[in-house]
Amino acid sequence: MLRVLIVDDEFEIREGLRNRFPWESFGIDEVLVADDGDTALMLALDMRPDLIVTDIKMNRMSGLEFLRALNPVQDYKPESIVVSGYDDFELVKQAMQIGVLDYILKPINLEELDQIVRKMIDRILKKRMDQHNEQQLINQVKFAIPKMREELLREMIEQEYDPYREARRRHRLQTLNLEWMVNQQMTLMVVEADDLKAIENRHAKEKDLILFGIGNVVNQTLEEEYPYPFALCMESGSRWVAIMSCSRSEHAELSRGMAQLCIQRINDFVKVKASAGMRTIPCTFEHLHEMFTEAVNVLEQKAVYGGNRLFTEQGLYYEGDGGDLSLGEPEEVLDLVKYGSDEEITAAMDRFVEMVQAWRLNQLRDIQQKIFEWLFEVFRRAAAAGIPNKTWGSNPIAVWEQLEQYDTLQSLREQTEIFLHAIAADFRKLSSSPSQIVSEAEKILHRDYAESLTLQSVAMSVHVTPVWLSKLFKKEKRKTFLEYLTEIRIEKAKEMLGDIQHKVYQISYQVGYKDPVHFSKLFKKQVGCTPKEYRRQRGIAEE
């Protein structure tokens, strides 16, 4: 649709142009009119006509002033025709200088106006086509750059470093807005959904949605929480790879925290279990392939230790909330019977079948034997923890004969669960209560909040596994371990902000955050304002 605005303070000329000229034959569907420059300016800014036909001389605001007033508007450049008398040529020259392309003399000759309008419409349509083509090109470039960036990243992680191609790679990195990778050190993380093949077998489209969701969560988490550059791509095996700038040593710890946070958010928002493998020792881009290979290798440890957690070259870490209990881990099963309720034991045994199937045994007797060995490892650890061997542990032959009676996995599960409940009943008579464990952990958090505390280190101090410390925290405090520790640190930071002698970066270090930028972002997330804004709100002068 095309629109024209006619501006003239003479009614006859204005209405004559509107009604006598065949605007519709030029594809103009709407004809607007104004009787002076002021009205025309408001109408033009509101309706954005494609073509303006204006008298050059008018009362109040002239046509020339009207057109000059439109000039600063960056996103609106209409075609304009001025109507003038024979003695107005100097004004016409001024109009040409501000972009008017043609003029017509009074009295207006409609045939002459026809030619001028035709020329203007051709220009308008050409301009529209050029803008359309330019926008298409911009869109194509916008679409192409992420694809080219992903292809380059995939090439760099999957192919061994070739020094003869280094100059070209450096140039491509700079061209694709990844120039930070040229000079900075990086850590690398590989994230994948657990049991992806099983998901794919259920429904191929479900797999695609899950992969898309994981990529979105990782990207958004790093955008929101990681204050330094990063790049993300999907490698050939459908795993997401995040490369994070790590120019200082303390950034490695922060990037590891990002990996654990990504796992937690994938659990919460994509509703699947996920694991991450990570190379936490920073390296330059020449070593990306080695870093990727190492991250993939450590990620394979989930077959042994269970998924839904972070693995690094330094060992395994649990995600932010401690993760799900693994029946295959005797220490975790011991904590289950020491601190879990009967309902939690029953819920944990829902994974019994999955554990047995992972053993890949086909003969009933082999399965019974393996369950017997698993049970006795739990019995042994319970005895070491101070529970005397009773009927469930003092007579191995009786236990074996009990298991031997059952020939289905379901009935074997039920019998195994009976043994676990028996151990739990004895522990409840002797062991520390869950509240005592959490109380001890709280003391450590309040005392050592400025140190590099982790779920793993505190769990070791109170003699439980990280999974169970996390579960006990949630049960007792209605919040995760990390949430509780963060609250302690932020409250201490708020106290210190009341004293102007403490700089914000000093407070960051003193409450346990080695990165002041990360501390400020976390403070704002918890409190609703930055540390400096918090001070100003309380009338404390800025640093």
pLDDT in tens, the chain (543 residues): 899 999 998 898 889 999 999 999 999 999 999 998 889 999 999 999 999 999 888 877 888 888 889 888 888 999 999 888 766 777 777 878 787 878 888 888 888 989 999 999 999 999 889 888 888 876 766 677 788 889 999 999 999 988 888 888 889 898 888 999 988 899 999 999 988 887 777 776 788 899 999 999 999 999 988 888 999 999 988 899 999 998 776 677 788 888 888 998 898 889 888 999 998 888 888 999 999 999 999 888 777 666 788 888 765 554 444 455 667 777 788 888 887 888 888 888 888 888 888 788 888 888 889 998 888 888 888 887 766 655 555 677 888 888 888 888 888 889 898 888 888 888 777 655 567 888 888 899 999 888 878 787 888 888 887 777 887 888 788 888 888 898 999 999 999 988 888 888 889 889 988 778 778 888 888 899 998 888 888 877 654
Instruction: Name which of 49, 60, 117, 50 is nearest 83 in CA terms.
Output: 117
Structure tokens at 168: 């070209």
- Do residue 166 and residue 275 come from a single domain? yes
- Do residue 105 and residue 252 come from a single domain? no
CB contact set of 220 (below 8 Å; sequence gap of 6+): none
Is residue 540 within 8 Å of 497, Cβ to Cβ?
yes
Position 470 in a domain: yes
pTM flag (> 0.85): no
> Can you tell me the distance from the alpha carbon of 151 to that of 430, in angstroms, rounded to the nearest whole number?
60
pLDDT on residue 468: 74
pLDDT on residue 142: 65
Range of the domain at 107: 2-130
- Do residue 44 and residue 104 come from a single domain? yes
Position 503 in a domain: yes
In the listed set 401, 430, 459, which residue is the last one of a domain according to the structure? 430
> Can you tell me the distance from the alpha carbon of 269 to that of 310, in angstroms, rounded to the nearest whole number?
18
One-letter identity of residue 113? L
Under DSSP, the state recorded for 416 is H
pLDDT on residue 276: 93
Position 243 in a domain: yes
Strands, E, within 139-221: which ranges?
Answer: 186-193
The CATH number given to whatever domain includes residue 509 is 1.10.10.60
The CATH number given to whatever domain includes residue 30 is 3.40.50.2300
Instruction: Name which of 1, 97, 112 is nearest 53 in CA terms.
Output: 112
Determine the length of the chain. Answer: 543
Position 144 in a domain: no
- Do residue 419 and residue 441 come from a single domain? no
Position 29 in a domain: yes
Q: What is the CA radius of gyration of the chain?
A: 36
Strands, E, within 376-467: which ranges?
Answer: none
pLDDT on residue 319: 41
- Do residue 177 and residue 120 come from a single domain? no
Give the alpha-carbon dihedral of 289, 292, 261, 283, to 10 degrees. -40
In the listed set 315, 342, 366, which residue is the last one of a domain according to the structure? 315
Position 21 in a domain: yes
- Do residue 306 and residue 382 come from a single domain? no
pLDDT on residue 391: 54
CB contact set of 30 (below 8 Å; sequence gap of 6+): 1, 2, 3, 4, 49
- Do residue 389 and residue 449 come from a single domain? no
Q: How many helices (H) and strands (E) does the chain have?
A: 25, 11
User: Considering its fold, how many domains does the chain have in total?
Assistant: 4
One-letter identity of residue 376? F
- Do residue 273 and residue 414 come from a single domain? no
Sort residue 109 into left (φ over 0), alpha (ψ -120 to 50) or beta. Answer: beta
Compute φ and ψ for 35, nearest 5 degrees.
-100, 0
In the listed set 259, 292, 315, which residue is the last one of a domain according to the structure? 315
The CATH number given to whatever domain includes residue 190 is 3.30.70.270
pLDDT on residue 322: 47
Sort residue 316 into left (φ over 0), alpha (ψ -120 to 50) or beta. Answer: beta
pLDDT on residue 427: 79
Residue 259: Cβ-neighbour burial (10 angstroms; 0-12, 13-18, 19+): buried
- Provide the 3-class DSSP secondary structure of residue 326: coil
- Do residue 425 and residue 343 come from a single domain? yes
Half-sphere exposure at residue 308, Cβ-oriented, CA atoms within 13 angstroms? 17
Is residue 256 within 8 Å of 211, Cβ to Cβ?
no
Structure tokens at 185: 């050190």
> Can you tell me the distance from the alpha carbon of 502 to that of 528, in angstroms, rounded to the nearest whole number?
21
pLDDT on residue 324: 59
The strand pair at 28-34 and 2-7 is best described as parallel
pLDDT on residue 541: 64
Position 142 in a domain: no
Measure CA of the first residue to CA of the last residue in the chain; give whole Å.
58
- Do residue 192 and residue 291 come from a single domain? yes
Position 148 in a domain: no
- Do residue 186 and residue 250 come from a single domain? yes
- Do residue 237 and residue 309 come from a single domain? yes
> Can you tell me the distance from the alpha carbon of 535 to that of 15, in angstroms, rounded to the nearest whole number?
65
CB contact set of 39 (below 8 Å; sequence gap of 6+): none
